[in-house]
Structure 1
Amino acid sequence: MAIKTNYQSVNVEIEGEVGWISLNRPKSLNALQSDLMLELVQSLKELNRDPAIKIVVLRGEGRAFCSGGDIKTMLSMDGEDNFQKIMDVISELSMTLYTMDKITICSIHGAAAGLGLSIALASDMVVAEEGSKIAMNFIGIGLVPDGGGHFFLKERLGEKKAMQLIWSGEVMNGQEAYAIGLIDRVVAENKGLDEVKKLVHNFQSSPINAMLETKSILRLGQSRELKKFLEAELEAQWRMRQTEDHQEGIKAFVEKRKPNFKGK
């Protein structure tokens, strides 16, 4: 197994035709900040350029897959230029993962929340352990999903269910997420990696080139739609960040209390 060592916030390992990428900020539950997202984009593009690699697996080190956007990064997004730069990275990350000409698998354990869930859903297949905490919980801080969250939820659940899930910000375990069709496989605790390895083996024993052709055909036009969703999310995020409700949501999050929203 070849190990890529030129990254700080992600671990990349190559095993034959499989690339394994691990988010590597375990102390923050792999919260997404600029350095991690930039390295993740770079590593995904690097693997995508390698014709020998057919499958890419995305997972998280430590106790969780990804707890969402890093709160410190969010607090620093006060200027429009800074906000635009970070949102551009988020959009590039989602678009890069979604359009890869590889089979992509995401393995969820622990939290997969907010932007972390958007990234997970950009993968072709999502495997989650039954005790996972899965949530599109932007509503709790008065924001809308980013990273293509609207697009991916709509694709998997349909428009009405996607809207209701975003509005509620409900936290689901793996079984609940599987029951509504949000994820593709649910497994017992600590068995996520075993299930992913089984999937990888099954894919390697299949006519994988034909499978990738099918992926390419089904994605015709979808990448353009995703781009439109990402642009709409950027505009909506900026508007919502100016609201009193968002400021209250962030303050309540930091103070670990229930927010008092006023619809302003």
Structure 2
Amino acid sequence: MSVSSSTDTVIVKYEGRTATVMLNRPEVLNALDEATLKELTVKLREVAKSEADVVVLCGNGRGFSAGGDIKSMLSNTDETRFLPIMDIISEVAVALYTMPKLVISAIHGPTAGLGLSMALAADYIMADASSIIAMNFIGIGLIPDGGGHFFLQNRVGAEAAKRIIWEGSKLSAEQALALGLVDEAVKENFQQAVRAKVDTWLQKPVAAMIETKLVLADLNKDKLVQVLQAEKHGQAKMRETADHKEGIAAFLQKRPPVFTGK
């Protein structure tokens, strides 16, 4: 998806009973830095209070989101910022999961790492044929965050979730559909298909659908918060490992990493 440039890193557009929330850092494949995550929390709070019934989460440019902004992370050497940033990530995950609206993730191009965790927080996930989907934290010796463990287990079960996380493989829309990671793989006319899904939902008793969502979200919210806390502390430990440092070095040098399990 593509819109004209804007200084906002998150753009919200209202159209009737629909709100579109678009990540807007196309020059870095919508990589998520601290400023973008903060803006996203603010925009999600606004959308939650709006008159919209359906929310479409998408990304501007060539992809949905390549995940956390590694270059931004490396340029910020203030370790005291790590846990607060993880708390912002947790806030985004909870806001999306408990949003009193019906949320569709409309993903295309690279949808990876934290970007994938965010997409998985939606009620329904539509993937364009261009999608390259990966829970790829393992490549730099880290674990999923943003509730990735929770959302993956809910969708595919614990054993499949472990395989997806440990392998970090790039998946096509069709492969992700076969695994149960997405709800629909769209071969062509993606934006038209998203619009059709929104229109179909808007012709249903949306209040009842949202109430069901909230019942289930309330049932599981404490578990999500527990997972987010575990991810925050687990990620802090992983950032101190030799494997993480090697993963980052290999990423910067554009070579395969050599991990030692340390």
TM-score of the two chains, using structure 2 as the length reference: 0.95
Alignment partners' CA distance in 2, 1:220 and 1:49? 18
Q: Which residue type is aligned with residue 198 of structure 1? A: A
Stretches of structure 1 lacking an aligned partner (at least 5 in a row): 1-5
Alignment partners' CA distance in 1, 2:191 and 2:221? 29
Q: CA deviation at 1:131?
A: 2.7
Q: Tell me, what secondary structure is at the counterpart of 1:202?
A: helix
For residue 220 of structure 1, what is the aligned residue in structure 2? Answer: 218
Alignment partners' CA distance in 2, 1:222 and 1:78? 35
Q: Which residue type is aligned with residue 25 of structure 2? A: R
Stretches of structure 2 lacking an aligned partner (at least 5 in a row): 1-5
Q: CA deviation at 1:221?
A: 2.4
Alignment partners' CA distance in 2, 1:44 and 1:132? 24
Alignment partners' CA distance in 2, 1:225 and 1:78? 32
For residue 57 of structure 1, what is the aligned residue in structure 2? Answer: 56
Q: Is the 8 A contact 1:142 1:246 kept in 2?
A: yes
Q: Which one of 241, 244, 250 corresponds to residue 243 of structure 1?
A: 241
> Pairwise mapping of residues 7-156 of structure 1 onto structure 2 (< 5 A)?
8-50=8-50, 52-76=51-75, 78-156=77-155
Q: Which residue type is aligned with residue 240 of structure 1? A: M
Q: Does 2:211 correspond to 1:205?
A: no
> How much identity, in percent, do the aligned residues show?
47
Q: Which residue type is aligned with residue 26 of structure 2? A: P
Alignment partners' CA distance in 2, 1:211 and 1:197? 18
* Cα deviations by residue, 1:47-100 (Å, 9 ceiling, x for unpaired): 1012x2111111111000000000123224544421011111111111111110
Alignment partners' CA distance in 1, 2:94 and 2:111? 19
Q: Tell me, what secondary structure is at the counterpart of 1:66?
A: coil
Q: Which residue type is aligned with residue 39 of structure 2? A: E
Q: Which runs of 4+ in 1 moved over 2 A?
A: 76-80
Q: Tell me, what secondary structure is at the counterpart of 1:145?
A: coil
For residue 233 of structure 1, what is the aligned residue in structure 2? Answer: 231
Q: Which residue type is aligned with residue 154 of structure 1? A: Q
For residue 3 of structure 1, what is the aligned residue in structure 2? Answer: none
Aligned length: 257
Q: CA deviation at 1:130?
A: 2.1
Let me know the Cα RMSD of the aligned residues.
Answer: 1.3
Q: Tell me, what secondary structure is at the counterpart of 1:220?
A: helix
Alignment partners' CA distance in 1, 2:129 and 2:45? 31
* Cα deviations by residue, 1:12-54 (Å, 9 ceiling, x for unpaired): 110011111111100000000011111111111101012x211
Alignment partners' CA distance in 1, 2:76 and 2:149? 21
For residue 168 of structure 1, what is the aligned residue in structure 2? Answer: 167
